[in-house]
Amino acid sequence: MTTSPLALNQLETPALILDRGKLERNLARMNDHVKRLGARLRPHVKTSKSVDVVRRAVTPGTGGITVSTLKEAEQFFAAGYRDILYAVGIALNKLEHVTALRARGCDVTIILDSIDAAHAVAEKARTTGTELPALIEIDSDGHRAGVKPGDARLIEIGRKLGVNLRGVMTHAGGSYDCKSVDEICALAERERVAVVQCAHALRGAGLACSVVSVGSSPTATYAQSFDGVTEVRAGVYMFFDLFMAGIDVCAVDDIALSVLCSVIGHQQEKGWVITDAGWMALSRDRGTAAQKIDQGYGLVCDVQGNPLGDLIVSSANQEHGIIAQRGGGTRDGARYPIGTLLRILPNHACATAAQHDGYHVVDGAGMVQARWPRFSGW
């Protein structure tokens, strides 16, 4: 939705702010990197849950997307996206919904990692007389779900799926625990090798495997090769966040998302500045707590988005954010009088965005040029 330009001080706080220039730079950087290495980018929409954001990453009808909920699949199919990967292990009670989507023309693909799920999918496809294309999830790093490379169940699952088998996929979620860029690079290669090995095993058993899919924002950013890979999935790269900055996947200045808030009080003896952005506006994510720099509930910036030294949201109640110096110490509250506008960079862009129903899109001058809606739910 386009609006007449507004200054940030015309917004009611807390408000979710999206820097369009940073968003577009982040999109271009990832797209160029993946294309240069010979793969296709399948952006993950779970971070933004916004058609206005995603259409800047991939035009409807020209490429595929990744979703984490069937509501996302519904919303983006209605917006013109047909090639959709539902990248969460399929719950059997969702097969009816998936079948209905496909009957309406949505080319939705599911994922699974068990013989039982493969049997249920094959039976559903048989009884409905339709194809239910599926990727077998591969565990490339011990982080979460999937079949480990070399596990004999891989071929058994593939045979059980039969004509519904479309390929393999993995998510190197362990990259979020890496301590250096070298570790991320090594994990990116481990991720690639794992799925390529499994694809070769399936093909060697006479099974189809046209899709070889990898993805996480860290490994997608630092991968040196996508040989044997057909597509790359990533999502948080669109906005980035403090967690990604903490593992050197981006710079703080690349973070496109922030929460605008107002100073509503002080506790001078404690060195606190109190705002109207508590965890309901910022989320309760404390993902940076285990990193080299603990950013509390978010890094504090001035109204133009420039970090204010070591000021962080040190604690948060439902509707109150408490700003203090990282590590303690005093802060002169008079520098931030009642009514001062501040912006908070998030620890986890997905979680912070989920607290809001839309983005106030700002240009380089900090003027609000549009409001882009987002949705939530399953």
Task: Give the model confidence (pLDDT) of 288-309 as tens digits.
Answer: 999 999 999 999 999 999 999 9
- State pLDDT tens for residues 311-332: 999 999 999 999 999 988 766 7
Instruction: State the pLDDT at residue 183.
Output: 96
**Same fold yes or no, 37-238 and 256-373:** no
* Average pLDDT score over residue span 56-81: 96
Q: Are 233 and 188 in contact (CB under 8 A)?
A: no
Cα(189)–Cα(193) distance, integer angstroms = 6
Integer Cα distance of 293 and 315 in angstroms: 16
SS3 for the chain, per residue? CEEEEECHHHCCCCEEEEEHHHHHHHHHHHHHHHHHCCCEEEEECCCCCCHHHHCCCCCCCCCCEEECCHHHHHHHHHCCCCEEEEEEECCHHHHHHHHHHHHCCCEEEEEECCHHHHHHHHHHHHHHCCCCCEEEEECCCCCCCCECCCCCHHHHHHHHHHHHEEEEEECCHHHHHCCCHHHHHHHHHHHHHHHHHHHHHHHHCCCCCCEEEECCHHHHHHCCCCCCCCEEEECHHHCCCHHHHHCCCCCHHHCCEEEEEEEEEEEHHHCEEEECCCHHHHCCCCHHHHCCCCCECCEEECCCCCEEEEEEEEEECCCCEEEEECCCCCCCHHHCCCCCEEEEECCCHHHHHCCCCEEEEECCCCCEEEEEECCCCC
pLDDT (0 to 100) of residue 4:
78
The edge-to-edge listing of strands for the beta sheet with 211-214 is 40-43, 231-234, 211-214, 165-170, 134-138, 107-112, 83-89, 65-67
Instruction: Work out the pLDDT band at 143, boundaries 50, 70, 90.
Output: confident
Q: What is the pLDDT of residue 327?
A: 84
pLDDT attached to residue 18: 98
Percent over 70 (pLDDT), the chain? 98
| Top-confidence residue, 198 or 366 | 198
**pLDDT score, position 334:** 81
**Residue 40 in this model has a pLDDT that exceeds 70:** yes
Per-residue pLDDT, 3 = 65
pLDDT at 368: 97
Cis peptide before 133, with omega less than 30 degrees from 0?
no
How high does pLDDT run on average in the chain? 96
Percent of the chain with pLDDT over 90: 93
Q: Which residue has the higher pLDDT, 73 or 333?
A: 73
Who wins on pLDDT, 366 or 124? Answer: 124
Domain chopping of the chain, boundaries: 37-238, 256-373
pLDDT in tens, 239-285: 999 999 999 999 999 999 999 999 999 998 899 999 999 999 999 99
- Domain 37-238, CATH: 3.20.20.10
pLDDT: is 61 or 18 the higher one? 18
Architecture per CATH, 256-373: Beta Barrel (2.40)
Residue written as token pair 């991968």: 223
* Vertex 354 angle, CA 17 and 248, to 5°: 70
pLDDT-based confidence at residue 1 (cuts at 50, 70, 90): low
Return the pLDDT at 328. Answer: 81
The dihedral built from the CA positions of residue 17, 180, 138 and 33, taken in this order, carries a sign that is: positive
| Mean pLDDT (whole number) for 176-197 | 96
**What confidence category does residue 2 fall into, taking pLDDT thresholds of 50, 70 and 90?**
low
